[in-house]
Structure 1
Amino acid sequence: MPTIESLFVTRLYRAALAEFGTPVDPAELESSCMVIAQDDEAGQDWCEENGYPGYTSYASLTDLPWRFPIFADVVAALDLHVAEFAKDLEFDLDGRALKLEDIWINILPEGGMHASHIHPHSVISGTTYVAMPEGASALKLEDPRSARMMAAPARQKAARRDLQTFVYPKPRVGDVLLWESWLRHEVPMNMAEDERISVSFNYGWE
């Protein structure tokens, strides 16, 4: 009898941000994101100069947890999730913890999208979701082997999840998703009339 096993697994972590008891008020977080976006002229200028739809604080604000206490609460919760994910990944951290490197706000209006990318120089990346109106785009994750498949035929539409070339997890408000930073991902076009709001982050190993 033939033996077939799965190798080189790609892990995706999903949980409620408040899973471990660290409270974050969703309404306050959404309000804070909107206030920051309105006041961050440097971020607005960067988005306009770089053709970024909507708003991101990625290139303008590097100290959200220091400026706004609710982001300190978010980071406290994320630290617990990242530690849990690192255990599942069976990393040998040599007695050191993964630490937050950066955290930023994303606000995508109707028609906005974020092209396929990875997060170089980080270990774990992820997003927590602040506003996901009906019709807002899911996260799109790409099989990391796709560039090496060369002449391979396409997968069947009903292929099991671990064989699909693209996976589209649909997050809910209050969810946190984590993945290893080398995993290519994107946000397809937001088809909702309202804005899709999320907070993304990177953790590194010091």
Structure 2
Amino acid sequence: MSADIRSLFATRLYRARLDLSGAVIDADELEASCYSIAEDDEAGQEWCEENGYPGYTSYASLTDLAWRFPIFGEIVKLLDQHVAAFAKDLEFDLGERELKLEDLWINILPEGGTHSSHIHPHSVISGTTYVAMPDGASALKLEDPRLPMMMAAPTRVKGAREELKSFVYVAPEVGDVLLWESWLRHEVPMNQSEDDRISVSFNYSWG
């Protein structure tokens, strides 16, 4: 028996090296900058403590990383190119407006730290570039956006095709950039490394 079976409503994930354009980001300088900012950011430290956030994030405290440290300004220039390429792949009709950086923040996740499942509302494209990924550092966990509607569905067989899995784990390397549409739920499972997992995350909005 023959049948026409198609995959509909694709969820796209973009992965590339941050420095594709030929610019080189000094990984050691970037890591040192992340630690320096975390050490000086008392407001960020207080927010993390008050909200039970393991390690450190500048998400709620700093909005000017690209101004504070030139290396973050260089990262933004590269991210702009990657986001434009991803938007083209997604076939967005942006009209005369562009996708622009909304916010950029540092994440330092120590051993045992997690970042629970979440989305990034009010943005179009979100993503992360990776600064330190020691052995045992957790992969990014992505959730099938249809999952809440699958109350009566059986589980998938082991080895199911990637586009049919309920969860997909992506293990990035230092210098990778991952992009996804901001409505895609994702999380960072427990960091099982003794060393910090360091990343820089960001959101792009329309216009």
CA–CA distance in 2 between the matches of 1:74 and 1:25? 11
Q: Deviations over 1:20-79 (max 9, x none)?
A: 123211111000000000110000000000000000000000110011100000000000
Any residues of structure 2 matched to 1:1-206 within 5 Å, and which? 1-206=2-207
Question: Quick one: percent identity of the two aligned structures?
Answer: 75
The question of whether the paired residues in 2 share the 8 Å contact of 1:141 and 1:168 is answered with: yes
Listed as ranges, the gaps of 5+ residues in structure 1 are none
Q: Which amino acid in 2 is paired with 1:105?
A: I
Stretches of 4+ aligned residues off by more than 2 angstroms: none
CA–CA distance in 1 between the matches of 2:16 and 2:27? 15
CA–CA distance in 1 between the matches of 2:167 and 2:180? 14
Q: Please say which of residues 177-186 and 153-162 is displaced more in the overlay.
A: 153-162
Q: Which amino acid in 2 is paired with 1:95?
A: E
CA–CA distance in 2 between the matches of 1:143 and 1:16? 25
Return the TM-score normalized by structure 2: 0.99
Q: Which amino acid in 1 is paired with 2:88?
A: K
Number of residue pairs matched by the alignment: 206
CA–CA distance in 2 between the matches of 1:14 and 1:151? 33
The question of whether the paired residues in 2 share the 8 Å contact of 1:23 and 1:73 is answered with: no
Q: Deviations over 1:83-136 (max 9, x none)?
A: 000000000000221000000000000000000000000000000000000000
Return the TM-score normalized by structure 1: 0.99
CA–CA distance in 2 between the matches of 1:157 and 1:116? 23
The question of whether the paired residues in 2 share the 8 Å contact of 1:22 and 1:76 is answered with: no
| SS of equivalent to 2:170 | coil
